[in-house]
Amino acid sequence: MTKPSRKIFLGICFFAFALCLGLLFFQQTKPKVFLTDVANSLNPVALHQLKNKIQHTDLQKDIDIYSGNFISSKIPHVKSFEHINVLFLGGIKFVSLDDLAQYDFIFTSTLYLHNFLKANHIKSYLLPLFIEDKKIKPSACALHPKNKNCFVLVIGDQPEVIKVLNKTNTAYLHYIKLNQKTEKHLLSKMQNISSIIVNNSAPVNDSMDTAPLLLYAISRHIPVLSDNVLNIYGNTNMNNINFTVLFADTLSYYTYESDIYDFLNCPDCRLKKAEKAYFVLKHLYTAETAAHNIAFSLVSNEDFVPRLKNLITIIAPIHAGLYNNGDYWLSKDLEHAFEKIKLNSLTVFNTSLYPHLGDSSVYIRGTTILDKKYVRENHVSLMYLIFPYTDKDNVYDYALSMQEEFGYIDAVAISSLEVTQAAQKLGIKAYYLPQFTNAEKFYPEFDESKKSEVLFVGQNDFYRKAPRLVYDAGLPITIYGPKWDGLAQAEYVDNKILRQYYSSAKIVLNDTRPDMKKLGFISNRIYDVTASGGFLISDYMKEIEEIYGDTIPMWKTENELIELVKYYLDPKHEAERMEKAQRAKEITLKYFTSEIAAEKFKTVINKIR
């Protein structure tokens, strides 16, 4: 070998040796992760991914993770204070606060325990329960539930559910409680489960957490029906809180027996929700996300807050399962309309774990005041003010009273033109965006069993004059809604079939809350009734008159109301009534559909961005 060649060779060898030393040194400085897992709370896949992620962080110390529910035993003492000591508590109900001081980081899988520790001034980070992130194919029974080998899995003491299943001849398997033995058995039968119905006490014994079985079911697109997080008395079922905050409106909920029938009788509806639930699980509750969650919190000392690009979250200011709430249905109609124009969207609730999951959010603003703490920074935020709830007598005073709340968000869409203009004068980014109807849900559909002479659907609030006046005048009126002291046919009409009642009535009454009338907010009932081909008589609002002209007769005095009802009930005026209803329907479908509203929202959101 010549001298130059020898020098080049030695140079290459020296460089390789130095590189090896550098790599060796780098590997030695990588933090190591050790696990003490009492209850198999962190599965091997999660631990492997966690190690990989932590080794790519700036952490210099080794990490000891202590994981488990620690229900029957005390929280273990840390092995080395030279390490970063991490405790994953899981979803236990009780914990000794004195044992927590030795840990640098505490992770909890339930919002309940997270808030408990926070109330006791102990810093903790959320780490929801998760499963291995595999791409699992949908269950055959979820896609084809009528297969003779498929069955509904019922978990919990639910006599009302069993009664419906027996009446409908639906095959089911019933477990009162879940435990390790039953979960293992059911996991082996997962492909035969067409859907799961679970009640608030069922998910896991002595825990506030969601059963892993349910996460596996959601990963296979198996629909889940849960009893409402609020029972009919308004009390919260605490055992179910975690389940509902994790998946929001991607699960189905029941309060009434009719909700169970709806769930069983619409496979397509079930599967659509199941696909949304899978979308949420895939992005939030997998081992990969959990590993990223822990690594992020260890480095930043902050909770991991997910953010999905190109997703609009529609935040409904209600609890999960309150299907008789108008805010909920407006949110769902908007979500459906967004999807029709190829915008990915998801309805969530105030109680959801991650209400700002998307990179932009629409806050539905009715009676619930928007708290600044619920608005996320670096996030496109748009309030949709659908109606006021105020004692202010004019639009300027009302806009002034809302100025601070408007300032929390990037822009506000308002369903009153006058309030929009007043807000703009105050320097608020405000856009006029009237309420709307879902024309795929509200359309003419006469039903003989639901026909009525005069119809009113709504709660008996202090301002409901029209139904009572018509009733007192001895005219034939049918009422649906709560608080009517025996006058109502029923307290609840399912929004999904409300069109049948509107389409089958000769006259539908509308009366407007005083603050809405003063400030120019048109009731959503106007759009839904007219889209259904119904004929409306309303209390007077100039805003309605400007849009609908004479197609919606209106009254200012009690006598005018009675005379209008008598006039349009007269068979001699049936043709006039039908002609006006047709013209009103054409106006609504031309200007006030959810698709039109979605396009307007899209324009506003793009302007904010």
Whole-Å CA distances, 225 to 164, 251, 322, 374: 13, 6, 14, 28
Give pTM, 2 decimals: 0.86
Distance CA 484, CA 49 (A): 59
Distance CA 75, CA 496 (A): 51
Distance CA 570, CA 198 (A): 52
- Mean pLDDT for each 10-residue chunk of the chain (609 residues)? 55 55 49 70 66 73 79 75 87 76 88 84 88 76 87 90 95 85 84 88 57 86 81 39 76 87 91 93 87 87 88 85 80 95 91 87 85 77 92 92 91 96 96 97 96 95 90 96 91 91 98 94 96 98 97 97 98 97 98 97 91
Look at the alpha carbons of 506, 512, 518, 521 in this order and tell me if their dihedral is positive or negative: negative
pLDDT in the model for residue 235: 36
pLDDT in the model for residue 566: 98
pLDDT in the model for residue 1: 53
User: Does residue 257 contact residue 231 with C-beta atoms inside 8 Å?
Assistant: no
Strand order in the sheet with 380-385: 344-349, 308-316, 358-365, 380-385, 411-414, 430-432
Distance CA 389, CA 377 (A): 27
pLDDT in the model for residue 108: 86
Kindly report the number of other CB atoms within 10 A of residue 274's CB atom: 25
User: Does residue 214 contact residue 169 with C-beta atoms inside 8 Å?
Assistant: no
Q: Which residues pair with 68 in a beta bridge?
A: none
pLDDT in the model for residue 207: 57
Strand, helix or coil for residue 570: coil
pLDDT in the model for residue 526: 97
pLDDT in the model for residue 146: 83
pLDDT in the model for residue 289: 86
How buried is residue 569: exposed, middle or buried, by Cβ count under 10 Å (0-12/13-18/19+)? Answer: middle
Kindly report the number of other CB atoms within 10 A of residue 545's CB atom: 14
Tell me the backbone φ, ψ of residue 225, rounded to 5 degrees: -115, 125
Distance CA 505, CA 534 (A): 7
pLDDT in the model for residue 255: 82
Whole-Å CA distances, 83 to 60, 63, 293, 539: 9, 5, 19, 72
Look at the alpha carbons of 435, 455, 254, 242 in this order and tell me if their dihedral is positive or negative: positive
Cβ contacts of 534 within 8 Å, gap of 6 or more = 502, 503, 505, 508, 581
Distance CA 68, CA 47 (A): 14
pLDDT in the model for residue 239: 43
User: Does residue 562 contact residue 556 with C-beta atoms inside 8 Å?
Assistant: no
User: Does residue 453 contact residue 475 with C-beta atoms inside 8 Å?
Assistant: yes
